[in-house]
Amino acid sequence: MNALLILIPLSLVLLLAAIWAFAWAVKRGQFDDLDTPAIDILQGEPEPAPRRPSAVEDGDAG
Amino acid sequence: MNATLAAMSGGERAGTVDTTCFHCGEPLPAAPAMRMFDGASRRFCCDGCAAAAQWIGDADLDAYYRLRERPGARIDEDDGALALWDREEVQAEHARTLDDGGREITLLTDGMRCAACAWLIDRALSREEGVTDISANAVTGRIRISWDPARTPLSRPLRRLQSLGYRPFLAAGVQQERERRRERNRWLLRIGIAALGSMQAMMFAEALYLDTARQMSLPMRDFLRWIAFLVSTPVVFYAGWPFIAGAARELRHRAPGMDTLIAGSTLLAWAGSVAETVRGGPQVWYDAAVMFVFLLLVARLLEQRVRATASAQVDALARARPAFASRETADGQREAVAVGALSAGDIVRVAPGEPVPADALLLDADASFAEALLTGEATPVPKHPGDQVFAGSLCGAQAARLQLTAVGTQTRLSQLAALIEQAQAHRPPLALAADRIARGFVLALALATIAVYVAWRLHDPSRAFEVALALLVVCCPCALSLAVPAALAAANGALARIGVLPLRADALARLARIDTVVFDKTGTLSLPGGVLRVESLDGLGDAEALRIAAALERDSAHPLAAAFHAAPAADTTIATGVVEHRGAGIEGVVDGRRWRIGLAGFAAATRHDDGAIWLGDGDIASARFTFDESARTDARPTLDALRRLGIASELASGDGDVAVTRFAGLVGIDAAHARMSPEGKLAHVRDLQAQGRVVAMVGDGINDGPVLAGADVSFALGDGNALAARAADLVLASPTLLRIAQAVVLARRTRAVIRQNLAWALLYNLLALPAAALGMVSPWQAALGMALSSLLVTANALRLARVPRA
């Protein structure tokens, strides 16, 4: 039974951690938009991402 | 002497690459712009679209064209107005300064139609110099931009946005925006804490319950109880605060309702448990308290989500408000000012095609204004000096000078937006009835609980509290009050997904009862335009007749007018003094001669009214136009689907006998009525209703205002304009007519689910009440029973979220 005396407070700590993580995610706006990310993941950024699209015309060979 | 020309308009046939703009899907002009894109030569309607596609391709964002579900918006020329966004007074009102010195603004845009657009905006703007953060949400049409004012003015990313076809509009005040987000976040946090907390509390409660043989040591038992107390207290008081606050409100108004019962039983279960924990009694009920709070929060969130989606539609009205206006200063100069800075009495100028910034009086000269947003009537209304002009209406062909009378929230437009918001916040009668039943139930239950408590006190005092608590919990009419809102929430979500937007709370309930659908032919079942035939009569010449007709019809929004818009040389001839007579035709002066176009009785009285469109001077006919209308490809499947549902379809059209009969045969419709005025259509609908039929009307929302209002339930086709057509109950935002049949199926299923739910909830409460009163149910069984009953009802409702096939 002594194991419980450690495990239960531990579970409470984990509970607090989970609540903190959830609150952090909500505050950071992780749940603001649940539609666009679904598309985002299908379409990764191409490897040499052109940082400035206007400069592409000059050097589009590379 | 017959000439035929194909005059197609609208996007229905415009699916192929050859005839429409690659970017926006609009018909191509005679000399389209050509660009190489993705290894193939593509055609564009204008340089703006071509440049946008070029930029998208160059920026490696061409995946947009694969991901998107609908064509983009046509791209307007940059009018330089974007520089106004950099003004300090605009940003002071709408932007927020961030901690790191950057700024943040929330905008609305009109072209964002699917998640691919949001994706494109996200990618495109995040590459702009000085933009630190960007998020675009296709559901709400909002874009949030954070930028560094030291590195870029706001107008630069906005110019990029506009060049891609998304025009920025000011959202409602920054305060409201932030409040909306904060409210949503608070709810999410409450649910999260309730979920995590009740999971833990139930775990500890389970440990206590499983000790059936009473082997657990007393210190261990008390330790577990105190831990459960620790975990459940924030759930009851933080997560459950909305219920407690609601109960306080209800008690203040002396109208105890659901919140009173929910808060009452959770607090009772919690307080009873605390008392038992302190004095080491035999039983605690923390699990019952937290389970209650969590499940009910989930149900409320479901309902709120639907409301939020619906309110995103209201923003279409906010978009009608321009960001800036051109104000006249005392010395006659003009200055551009933010609309928020205008006040009553100011004199402003509005250019053709621009929205009016606030309610005003017209000065100087006659002008015309399209008040589609306010009345649903797209035809410009002619106004004389001194007439009232309303915010949100679009200025017609001439520029106008206006003196403002009401600004901001005082305008008709703002009041209309408030009205729609109100309608959406309004609870349907069915939900209200369920609430009423639940309220009566609450009082009865409170009395029953007291009676049972007293009875048990006399019979077996040790079990009295437990039995009373079990009774209170097991009989909570949660399932009863969830039965309707959960079903409506799921159904509304499914409706929104198929592009049917309910504007009235009880539209769904009425839709389930219909047995007759009346279609307005022009523009609903048929394609706009069609093939136009010209037959000139008194030596006018086909081309000349068409030229005059096109000039007269140029500004008309009538679906048939679209066929004339596509005529060659439609833009070169200008008609003056154009007056549109509703249900008859158009009158105007072209090249110094007065012409009338429309029905025979109006344009050429000497001719027999045969359904054709006549051009004449009022007596003598000069030309005759006929349309070979083609049915929408989905017209016949829709009618078949409706027939399978046991719904009769009728056609009520303003066109002539021959055309209507031919068209009815074409689509296979049962009953067709020709030559009906809007008043005639309304009388016909009333006739059907007198025969006991329940009638749904499908119209384009432009000419059908009174009929749409008179029918039991009404559909309006189209998006922005029809949204504000207060007459319509549902707006069909998707171009497919089949959605009507799907919506009916969904409405009927919703009705069935609501009935099942109500029946189950009543049955459950009737069975549970005597069982609990006799002491056969312990509080944890009660909470579980109540929870399972609520979950059953919710799960049953969620079946509606699946989109039906018609």
pLDDT of residue B361: 86
**Residue B79, class by beta-carbon neighbours within 10 Å (0-12 exposed, 13-18 middle, 19+ buried)?**
exposed
The answer to whether the CB atoms of B138 and A40 lie below 8 A apart is: no
Q: Is the pLDDT of residue B151 over 60?
A: yes
pLDDT at position B195 is 92
| CB nearest to A36's CB, from B136, B217, B220 | B136
What distance lies between CA B609 and its chain's CA centroid?
Answer: 41
pLDDT for residue B237 is more than 90? yes
Look at B341-345, B402-406, B749-753 and tell me which has the smallest mean pLDDT. B341-345
Choose the most confident range, by mean pLDDT, from B51-65, B273-287, B529-543: B273-287
Query: CB count, 10 Å around CB of B17?
Result: 11
Nearest-Cα residue of chain A relative to residue B56: A53
Q: Tell me whether B118 touches chain A (CB under 8 Å).
A: yes
Distance in Å, alpha carbon of B290 to nearest chain A alpha carbon: 15
**Do B494 and B505 have their domain in common?**
no
* B678 vs B767 pLDDT, higher one: B767
Say if B768 falls within a structural domain: yes
Q: Are residues B203 and B283 in the same domain?
A: yes
For residues B241 and B230, membership in a common domain is answered with yes
Label residue B348 by pLDDT band (50, 70, 90). Answer: confident
Residues B727 and B597 reside in one and the same domain: no
Q: Do B58 and A56 make contact, defined as CB atoms within 8 angstroms?
A: yes
Closest-approach residue (CA) in chain A for B60: A46
Please state which of the ranges B40-49, B306-315, B386-395, B501-510 shows the lowest mean pLDDT.
B306-315
List of chain A residues whose C-beta atoms are within 8 Å of the C-beta of residue B188 = 26, 31
Q: Catalytic one among B259, B520, B634, B729?
A: B520
Is the same domain home to B711 and B765?
Answer: no
pLDDT class for B75, splitting at 50, 70, 90? low
pLDDT tens figures, B529-552: 555 777 777 777 777 888 888 888
Q: Which residue of A has its CA nearest to B124?
A: A53
Q: Name every residue whose Cβ is closer than 8 Å to that of residue B265 and which is 6 or more positions away in sequence.
A: B289, B292, B469, B472, B473, B476
Measured between CB atoms, which of B188, B196, B220 is closest to A1? B220
ipTM entry: 0.70
Q: Supply the pLDDT for residue B226.
A: 92
Q: Does B36 touch chain A (CB under 8 A)?
A: no
- In chain B, residues with a C-beta closer than 8 Å to the C-beta of A57 are 58
Give the pLDDT of residue B689.
87
Residues of B in contact with A18 (CB under 8 A): 196
Give yes or no: residues B190 and B306 share one domain.
yes
Please check the confidence at residue B11 and state whether its pLDDT lies above 50: no
What average pLDDT does the structure give for chain B?
76
pLDDT top residue among B380 and B185: B185
* Of A31-35, B77-81, B488-492, B683-687, the least confident: B77-81
Q: Which of B319, B344, B374 is the last residue of a domain?
A: B319
pLDDT at B227 over 60: yes
Chain A closest-CA separation from residue B249 CA (Å): 28
Residue B740 lies in a domain: no
Q: How confident is the model at residue B280 (pLDDT cuts 50, 70, 90)?
A: confident
> Per-residue confidence of chain A (62 residues) as pLDDT tens digits?
678 788 888 999 999 999 999 999 988 878 876 666 766 666 555 544 444 444 333 433 33
Query: Chain A within 8 Å of B803 (Cβ-Cβ)?
Result: no
Q: Which two tokens stand for residue A59?
A: 């050097």
CB contact under 8 A, B58 and A57: yes
Q: Is the same domain home to B214 and B340?
A: no
The mean-pLDDT minimum among B59-68, B221-230, B551-560, B641-650 falls in B551-560
Cβ(B367)–Cβ(B383) below 8 Å: yes
Would you tell me which residues 562-621 of chain B have a C-beta closer than 8 angstroms to some C-beta of chain A?
Answer: none
The crossing angle, in degrees rounded to 10, of helices B258-279 and B218-234 is 150
In a domain, B745, yes or no: no
Is the predicted pLDDT of residue B723 greater than 60, yes or no?
A: no
Asked if the structure places residue B408 within a domain, the reply is yes
Distance of residue A46 Cα from the nearest chain B Cα, in angstroms: 8
Instruction: Judge whether B512 lies within some domain.
Output: yes
Residues B592 and B446 in one domain: no
What is the nearest CA distance from A58 to chain B, expressed in angstroms?
11
Please, which residues have CB within 8 angstroms of residue B739's CB and are 6 or more apart in sequence? B498, B499, B500, B732, B806
Mean of the pLDDT values across residues B600-623? 78
Q: How many domains does chain B have?
A: 7
User: Is position B751 within any domain?
Assistant: no
- Cβ burial B557-578 (10 Å sphere, 16+ → b, else e): bbbbbbbbbbbeebeebebeeb
CA distance B467 to A16: 34
Distance of CA B483 to the CA centre of its chain: 24
Q: Is residue B204 part of a domain?
A: yes
Number of residues assigned to chain B: 806
Q: What is the tens place of the pLDDT at every residue in B411-453?
A: 766 665 655 555 455 556 666 776 677 677 777 888 888 899 9
What pLDDT score was predicted for residue B726? 53
CB contact under 8 A, B58 and A5: no
**Domain check: are B561 and B436 in the same one?**
no
Say whether residue B178 is in contact with chain A using an 8 A CB cutoff: no
- Closest to A33 (Cβ–Cβ): which among B60, B137, B231? B137
Place of tokens 């415009």: B14
Which residues of chain B make contact with A10, given a CB cutoff of 8 A? none
Determine whether the interchain pair B58/A18 forms a contact, defined as Cβ–Cβ distance below 8 Å: no
- Note whether B60 contacts A12, CB cutoff 8 Å: no
For residue B793, what pLDDT is reported?
83
Compute the distance between CA of residue B476 and CA of residue B674 in angstroms, rounded to an integer: 57
CA distance B708 to B377: 13
Tell me if B115 and A36 make a contact (CB, 8 A cut-off).
yes
C-alpha B42/C-alpha B377 separation (Å) is: 37
Q: Is residue B741 part of a domain?
A: no
Of B382 and B321, the one with more pLDDT: B382
Residues of B in contact with A51 (CB under 8 A): 127
- Which pLDDT does position B638 carry in this prediction? 85
Are residues B339 and B289 part of one domain? no
Pick from B137, B181, B200: CB nearest A11: B200
- Among residues B386, B421, B456, the one where a domain terminates is B421
Q: What Rg value do the Cα atoms of chain B yield, rounded?
A: 32
* Closest chain A C-alpha to B41 CA, distance in angstroms: 18
Residues spanned by the domain of B803: 428-498+758-806
Q: Clarify whether B700 is annotated catalytic.
A: no
Tokens of B20: 């429409």
> In this predicted model, what pLDDT tens digit does every residue of B445-498 receive, in sequence order?
888 888 999 999 898 887 888 888 888 877 777 677 677 777 877 787 777 667
For B350-369, the pLDDT digits (tens) are 877 677 888 888 887 778 78
In A, minimum Cα distance to B64 occurs at: A43
